Structure 1
């Protein structure tokens, strides 16, 4: 049986038991942590993509995506509090569902983090080219600032050079060991929140704001059709990208005072705050500039990132359209006469987004690292640089892949592909929570999901609903990537697995301690 290997939870928890973390965080600190981690790429970059999919119904899309994230976050919180070690959903699955499904989750997470980093790099490129270089009077030719979109080139696009360069630069910083400072990150969070607050205040009070610009509210309806990726639910599947990051709250459960009360307040509070904030930003952008999508002959919005949409956006009548902008929030303010503040918002995105790329590549390499240390991937990938003490080989491989994807694909397509992997991982976490409630009901839980037999199934339903409303190309990418993963698993990983060879190895971080526990050989 290939479903017989389950890593002993006691072995995984052996590392966590040594930590003895001080419980000092309250609900307010957790809420701020969640807000800081969530607000970022999605709202700065994907507002135009979401408007093209849903029109003014983008506000509904934000609400749907936020609701799915709230129920998923509660499941994530319970299992993260139980298993507070490296590896995220991969480790959780290994301890509950077994090695085979853990491999599929880890393989999906590898793809998710890398593609997400590429999407952020492309978004950063839009602000760099538009706000920074444009403000200096420098205009990159199209062939250097845009990749060939979808399945064909358009408007002279050949390579997104800024996206390529920022991805490689962040990779270099990670290799030499540069990590984020908590103080610097706090400043960046402040910059993001101030910038978005200014945007909301200006747009909602602008003379240009008009309720007429919200009509028709749902030009593609609630559901645009299976595999179309449009409509409010299709847009929600894309805007889900704007919420990823809340897991930072759940992983802090071990350091939280009264986690049963404060963790759900921090999770739900931060996600509700971000949802309301996002809806206000969408309302301001659409109410001042309009958010009607560019429609196809069939009466549906053209696919975001497609060749035809890019061709239409090159026409004079769409030159100033929200759905065609690469720096949507700065663009809106510039169009209504607030060029200086628009440039400041563009500068805020320019400063804040590289830190997001860094965190995403860091997270991807650590998943890669843990899987390698489990024997499921070649051990060479987990080698640590003798001088910098970082997993340099896997970081370089990841960084190059991120740079290549960023150089040649549009942000909307990258976000959709990344979301496919995220939705699968969240679904598996919900399944793992329910399995642990049945298999190990007496194990101490610092946080328990209230109404788990309602919340966990709702998480699964929500993830499946959003997945099947992604564009068909994004839906097909995940099983295609998964099929490649199965080939790797059965040809290499299963035979080299440490668990299968009778050894459980637990590594909490790159320079952490190991716990070696004998296990019954396969």
Structure 2
């Protein structure tokens, strides 16, 4: 079938072997990569947005999102240890469901990681402006440099979020230097923010007042499809914080002993972060309250909306959790721990770049593998001779992320990122079930328990959360997919290595590699060698 080009799994593994990234990451580094991405995005950045959607029900929202992630993580653990190459859900789909669906998954992952990285950059900007400039230096960043324009959901007087754009570009530069160097910096940053959150929990839990949790669900459990409010609506928003375990799988090709280390990194980072999420949310809401600001119809104003921005500018809501750009530091200041709150703000200021780093790392690796397969220009998959990283695509991605961070608010960015995330996660569950049927004898160092239940539960959970995103965010995925389909048929379908019969075959001896055809092409020495056409 024309649109059912399924790339042989052995060919995928051989291509990765011939044009591989350096394997330098262990189980601990992978777990820290996951923790670095998960802790930060949901706690430091989205606590305010989640509370505006669900109030104290934010705690339940973390549990709902965590449960969906848990079943998805088991699917990821099996297929990532079976196919330990870069590309994540894109590669898994290519090996099981064919090139066209794989393209749509890879295109969705591009949306997921790039927009999520922009969202965290905006979150970092809030801590930079509030803690570093205001609290310590006594400076006020001009409004037009502190946020995106109000027409796009920003704050009054905003034009461009300059700090968010700058941090995105700085992290891009760090990733271009090298994977191992990035992992070492990330480990230090993760230690800083885990220590800061532990201190937050110790200080806030003893001061919790149970009355602040009443009403626990001011917007209900289920606000209705497309509403984006209620506990389920909040879960749909904060779900993007859990993409950290997906980022772990994208690093499989750069991991030592991936069959063992990838499952450890996936499940371990998810469990650690879920515990932190629930405890920190309880401490924040139980001390100063977290009731949403309601609209005239009794429904919370949308997070990141123009209406909410105007309400938060009123004196009555000056100390509200849902209005803070640096939620956790704000909570500590409100309960009398100003110095520690400032210290936590510094920790967020230092640690949130680790989240941006992991998201950018994952996004560039998706582009890298799609380029390596010929679906995007092969020059994008060029590896720097000194740094050993895909420097071209990293630079392009960094510029795109910086642009998004400069003009959009965190709440809107998070919802948009989730559209791609949930689609990709559901497709991974499908890929695991398909591979079990089509290749049952392939060695699996990790097998998903009760796949007959876990696989469908993952698909249902992702679809359910997708339908609880705001209507505007839901529309982004089909529009983005249509754009991607156009690119695929205009370029990828014709240039695909698989479509041209250029299927890589694993050959251990270097003298077996055929040279480029003289006078026909001058190929980059890092590019896969040409092979005689075969029927895909």
Distance across 2 between alignment mates of 1:485 and 1:257: 31
Distance across 2 between alignment mates of 1:33 and 1:131: 26
Distance across 1 between alignment mates of 2:46 and 2:154: 21
Distance change in 2, residues 1:226/1:412 (3 Å): same
Q: Is the 8 A contact 1:506 1:514 kept in 2?
A: no
- 1:122-161 → structure 2 map (5 Å cutoff): 122-134=122-134, 135-149=136-150, 151=152, 154-161=155-162
SS in 1 for 2:159: coil
| Pairing 1:163–2:164 present | yes
Distance across 2 between alignment mates of 1:384 and 1:183: 21
Distance change in 2, residues 1:515/1:214 (3 Å): farther
Q: Is the 8 A contact 1:87 1:366 kept in 2?
A: yes
Distance change in 2, residues 1:56/1:272 (3 Å): same
Residue 148 of structure 1, CA deviation: 1.7
Distance across 1 between alignment mates of 2:243 and 2:476: 20
- 1:41-80 → structure 2 map (5 Å cutoff): 41-80=41-80
Gap runs ≥5 in structure 2? 507-523
- 1:402-441 → structure 2 map (5 Å cutoff): 402-441=401-440
Distance across 2 between alignment mates of 1:257 and 1:64: 29
Equivalent residue, structure 1, for 2:237: 238
Q: Is the 8 A contact 2:80 2:262 kept in 1?
A: no
Gap runs ≥5 in structure 1? none
Equivalent residue, structure 1, for 2:306: 307
Deviations 1:168-209 (A, max 9, x none): 222233345586454433222221111111111111112xx3
Distance change in 2, residues 1:429/1:312 (3 Å): same
Q: CA RMSD in A?
A: 2.9
Residue 99 of structure 1, CA deviation: 0.2
Distance change in 2, residues 1:511/1:333 (3 Å): farther
Distance change in 2, residues 1:150/1:244 (3 Å): farther
Deviations 1:82-128 (A, max 9, x none): 11011111111111100000000111111111111101110110011
| Pairing 1:106–2:120 present | no
Distance across 1 between alignment mates of 2:46 and 2:107: 25
Distance across 2 between alignment mates of 1:500 and 1:192: 47
Distance across 1 between alignment mates of 2:70 and 2:239: 11
- 1:433-512 → structure 2 map (5 Å cutoff): 433-505=432-504
Distance across 1 between alignment mates of 2:374 and 2:527: 17
Residue 404 of structure 1, CA deviation: 1.0
Equivalent residue, structure 2, for 1:190: 191
SS in 1 for 2:121: helix
Residue 520 of structure 1, CA deviation: 2.7
Q: Is the 8 A contact 2:133 2:140 kept in 1?
A: yes
Deviates more, 1:511-520 or 1:167-176: 511-520
Distance change in 2, residues 1:66/1:345 (3 Å): same
> TM-score of the superposition, structure 2-length normalised?
0.89
Deviates more, 1:54-63 or 1:85-94: 85-94
Equivalent residue, structure 1, for 2:83: 83
Distance change in 2, residues 1:212/1:519 (3 Å): farther
Equivalent residue, structure 1, for 2:225: 226
Residue 379 of structure 1, CA deviation: 2.5
Deviations 1:311-365 (A, max 9, x none): 1000000111000001000010011111111111111111111122122222212
Residue 41 of structure 1, CA deviation: 2.0
Aligned residues: 514
Distance across 2 between alignment mates of 1:37 and 1:315: 34
